[in-house]
């Protein structure tokens, strides 16, 4: 059973150099989820509001 989605909005106007650095090093995003023990799939979705382009990644998560 999937839980409710958690949203976090980040706004930034990136220079070309910042875009390159982000591609090389990624983005640090902090936060927390309160989950009962079990196995989950955590999905991150990113959308560029200017172009409408989207990207996503899914990762397994086990909570003991």
Could you tell me if residue 4 is inside a domain?
no
- Letter string b/e over residues 30-40, b meaning 16 or more CB atoms within 10 A of that residue's CB: eeeeeeeeeee
Do residues 56 and 46 lie in contact, with contact meaning Cβ atoms separated by under 8 Å? yes
pLDDT at 3: 63
Tokens of 50: 């200017």
Global pTM reads 0.58
Is residue 63 in a domain? yes
- Write phi, then psi, for 19 (nearest 5 degrees): -65, -45
Token pair, residue 13, equals 């106007």
How many folded domains does the chain comprise?
A: 1
Domain span including residue 60: 35-64
Task: Give the pLDDT of residue 8.
Answer: 80
* Percent of the chain whose pLDDT exceeds 90: 42
């Amino acid at each position: 059973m999937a839980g409710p989605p958690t949203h976090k909005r980040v706004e930034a106007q990136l220079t070309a150099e910042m875009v390159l650095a982000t591609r090389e090093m990624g983005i640090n995003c902090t936060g927390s989820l309160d989950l009962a023990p079990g196995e989950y799939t955590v999905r991150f979705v990113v959308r560029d509001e200017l172009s409408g382009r989207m990207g996503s990644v899914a990762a397994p998560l086990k909570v003991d």
